[in-house]
Amino acid sequence: MRLGGKVALITGAGSGIGEATARACAHQGAAVA
């Protein structure tokens, strides 16, 4: 999955699956908000 130039808005990114999702999106190039 390529997310360069995209913005991901992830709620609950402080811990658990939300944090893992935020990290995965950032790793793929998304700006995480």
Residue with tokens 């990114």: 13
Specify the pLDDT at position 9: 95
Domain that holds residue 31: 1-33
Give 1-33 pLDDT, tens digit per residue: 789 999 999 998 888 999 999 999 999 999 999
Q: What distance, in Å, lies between the first and last C-alpha atoms of the chain?
A: 18
Distance CA 28, CA 20 (A): 12
Number of domains in the chain: 1
